[in-house]
C-alpha cells in the first residue's frame, strides 16, 4: 500500500497544480493559434460582419468545450450526478462546487482569445468597417454617392491594396479609428473579467466559508475514492489473472500426465526455485501444447479454491471437482470489460 500512498499523495497535492497547468497551456495555445491563424477579411459588404464576428466568437466556444473535454473530472462529475442514490445520499452543493471549479478553469482560454482578438483589432476592423462615421471622419467635399456604393467602398477598408475610396475617407484614419475602438473594448473586457474573478474569489470567505470547506472536502473525497477503487480493482484483476494462469498451467500439467500415463517426474528435493516455476512443463512438445491450448481454449473466469486436506466431498454449487482423468471441459468464456 506504500506505493499507492505515494501515488495518491502525488495526485492529491498536484491535482490542483495539474489542472492549473492544463489551463495555462490552453491559454498559451489559444494565443499561439491566433498568431498562426491567417486572418483574411473578405472585404465585401455583408460578409465582413459575419467573418469578423465569427472569428471573434466561434473559437472561444470551441476552446470552452475543449476545456471541459480535457478535464478528467468531468466524467467524475457526470458519474456522481447520475448515480442512483443507493445507501449514500447526494449533496447538490458538492456537485455545484465541482461544476463551478471546472467551468472557471474552462473559461480562461476563451477569455484569452477574445482579449487578444480585440486588442489586435483586425476582427473589429473587418466587422465594422462599413459603420465608420464618414460624416465626421471623411472629406465633406466629396460628391455624394449612393448608399450601396458607399457600403462597397467602406467594405474595402481592411484590404489596403484594393481600397479606392481615399477621396471619401483616408484608409489610415478609418483603420486607426476602428482599432482604437477595438482596443478600448478589449481593455474593458479584460478589466471586467479580472474584476469578476476578484469578486468571486474575495466574496467567498465573507459569506459561505464553512459550506465551501465541506464541498471541497467531499469533492476531493469522491475523486480519491474513485482512484483508489480503480487501483484496488486493478490489483484484484492482477491477482485474479495470476491465479487463473497458475491454475491453467497446473491443469495442463495434470492433463498431460494423465494422457501419457506417466508417473509425474519427481523433482529432486534440492531442485530450487527455477524448477518450481516450470510448473511441471519441461519439454518442447508440452510447452507447444500449452500455448496452443491457451489460444484455442482459454480457461473460464472461475478460480478453483485450493484442495481441502480432509477430502470431504463438495456439497456446494458451481464448484465442480477436478478429476485428473477427466478431459478438460471446454467452455467458452465471455470477457466483459467492465
Among 44, 95, 176, 293, binds other proteins (CB under 8 A): 176
Distance, CA of 8 to CA of 15 (rounded, Å): 10
* For other proteins, the closer CB: 72 or 166: 166
* Residue 197 in the binding site for other proteins (CB under 8 A): yes
Rg value, the chain, Cα: 36
Provide the minimum distance between the beta carbon of 23 and other proteins in the complex, in angstroms, as a whole number.
13
Question: Total residues contacting other proteins (rule CB under 8 A)?
Answer: 73
Contact letters for other proteins, residues 81-100 (x by CB under 8 A): --xx-xxx------------
* Residue 309 in the binding site for other proteins (CB under 8 A): yes
Residues in 121-160 at the binding interface with other proteins, rule: CB under 8 A:
121, 137
Among 268, 311, 318, 321, binds other proteins (CB under 8 A): 318
Residues in 177-196 at the binding interface with other proteins, rule: CB under 8 A:
177, 179-180, 183-184, 187-188, 190-191, 194-195
Segment interacting with other proteins (CB under 8 A) among 37-45, 68-76, 203-211, 263-271: 203-211
CB count within 10 Å of CB 307 equals 9
Contact letters for other proteins, residues 7-36 (x by CB under 8 A): -xx--xx-----------------------
* Residue 306 in the binding site for other proteins (CB under 8 A): yes
Distance, CA of 308 to CA of 314 (rounded, Å): 10
Q: How is residue 22 written as a grid cell?
A: 492544463
Confirm if 93 and 213 have CB atoms less than 8 A apart.
no
- Backbone dihedral angles phi then psi of residue 272, each to the nearest 5 degrees: 90, 180
Confirm if 48 and 159 have CB atoms less than 8 A apart.
no
Residues in 285-304 at the binding interface with other proteins, rule: CB under 8 A:
300-303
The DSSP code for 91 is -
Residues in 236-275 at the binding interface with other proteins, rule: CB under 8 A:
236, 239-240, 242-243
Distance, CA of 220 to CA of 224 (rounded, Å): 6
Alpha carbon of residue 104 to chain centroid: 16
Which of 110, 115, 111 minimizes the C-alpha distance to 65?
110
- Backbone dihedral angles phi then psi of residue 297, each to the nearest 5 degrees: -145, 80
* Residue 232 in the binding site for other proteins (CB under 8 A): yes
Amino acid at each position: 500500500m506504500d506505493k499507492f500512498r505515494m501515488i495518491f499523495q502525488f495526485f492529491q497535492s498536484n491535482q490542483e497544480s495539474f489542472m492549473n497547468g492544463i489551463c495555462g497551456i490552453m491559454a498559451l495555445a489559444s494565443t499561439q493559434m491566433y498568431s498562426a491563424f491567417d486572418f483574411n477579411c473578405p472585404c465585401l459588404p455583408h460578409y465582413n460582419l459575419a467573418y469578423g464576428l465569427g472569428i471573434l466568437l466561434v473559437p472561444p466556444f470551441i476552446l470552452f468545450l475543449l476545456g471541459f473535454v480535457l478535464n478528467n473530472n468531468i466524467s467524475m462529475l457526470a458519474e456522481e450526478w447520475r448515480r442512483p442514490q443507493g445507501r449514500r445520499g447526494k449533496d447538490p452543493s458538492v456537485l455545484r462546487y465541482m461544476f463551478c471549479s471546472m467551468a472557471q478553469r474552462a473559461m480562461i482560454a476563451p477569455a484569452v482569445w477574445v482579449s487578444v482578438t480585440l486588442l489586435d483589432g483586425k476582427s473589429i476592423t473587418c466587422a465594422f468597417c462599413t459603420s465608420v462615421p464618414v460624416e465626421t471622419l471623411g472629406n465633406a467635399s466629396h460628391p455624394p454617392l449612393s448608399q450601396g456604393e458607399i457600403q462597397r467602398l467602406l467594405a474595402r477598408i481592411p484590404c489596403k491594396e484594393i481600397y479606392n475610396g481615399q477621396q471619401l475617407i483616408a484608409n489610415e484614419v478609418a483603420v486607426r479609428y476602428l482599432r482604437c475602438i477595438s482596443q478600448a473594448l478589449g481593455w474593458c473586457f479584460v478589466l471586467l473579467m479580472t474584476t469578476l474573478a476578484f469578486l468571486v474569489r474575495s466574496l467567498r470567505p465573507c459569506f459561505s466559508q464553512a459550506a465551501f470547506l465541506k464541498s471541497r472536502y467531499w469533492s476531493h473525497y469522491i475523486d480519491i475514492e474513485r482512484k483508489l477503487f480503480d487501483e484496488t480493482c486493478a490489483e484484484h484483476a492482477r491477482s485474479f489473472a495470476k491465479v487463473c494462469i497458475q491454475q491453467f498451467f497446473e491443469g495442463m500439467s495434470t492433463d498431460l500426465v494423465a494422457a501419457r500415463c506417466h508417473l509425474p517426474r519427481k523433482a529432486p528435493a534440492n531442485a530450487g526455485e527455477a524448477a518450481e516455476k516450470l510448473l511441471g512443463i519441461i519439454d518442447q512438445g508440452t510447452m507447444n501444447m500449452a500455448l496452443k491450448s491457451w489460444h484455442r481454449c482459454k480457461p473460464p473466469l472461475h478460480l478453483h479454491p485450493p484442495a481441502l486436506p480432509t477430502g470431504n466431498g463438495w456439497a456446494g454449487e458451481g464448484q465442480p471437482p477436478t478429476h485428473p482423468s477427466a478431459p478438460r471441459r471446454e467452455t467458452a468464456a465471455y470477457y466483459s470489460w467492465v
